Amino acid sequence: MQIKVLYFAQLRDLFGISETTLRMDDGISVGQALDEIIKGHEDAVDWASVRFAVNEEFSHKSLILRDQDTLVLLPPVSGG
């Protein structure tokens, strides 16, 4: 399956891109996708502080992704 991944703020700076499309095995969770995405950047960010959204809704790591989902990695927000 294919998923779209969007990056914002410091994560856009870290990865050097705003978005990418990734091929993943069917049935993987958000947490498993994250493990793939952050390879090589494990120590660059406090990943425990990063939240996730799937298709514009907050999501947990255990959520199973589906084909064409949009996954967003959300560093700690700072609006206002």
Partner 1 sequence: MYLTKDSIEPARFVSAKTAPHCGGVDVFFGVIRDYNEGKSVKELFYDCYEPMAEKEIAKVIERAKSETGVHEIRVLHRIGRLRVGEVAVAIMASGAHRQEAFAACRQVIDEIKQDVPIWKKEVYEDSTHDWVVCRHQH
The contact set with partner 1 (CB under 8 A) reads 6, 8-10, 12-13, 49, 53, 56-57, 72, 74-80
Structural contact between residues 6 and 16, judged by C-beta atoms closer than 8 angstroms = no
- Tell me 4's DSSP state: E
Shortest Cβ 9–partner 1 spacing (Å): 4
Q: Of the two residues 2 and 10, which places its CB atom closer to partner 1 in the complex?
A: 10
Shortest Cβ 40–partner 1 spacing (Å): 20
Query: Which H helix or E strand runs over 58?
Result: strand 57-59
Q: Of the two residues 30 and 72, which places its CB atom closer to partner 1 in the complex?
A: 72
Whole-number Å distance between alpha carbons of 18 and 20: 7
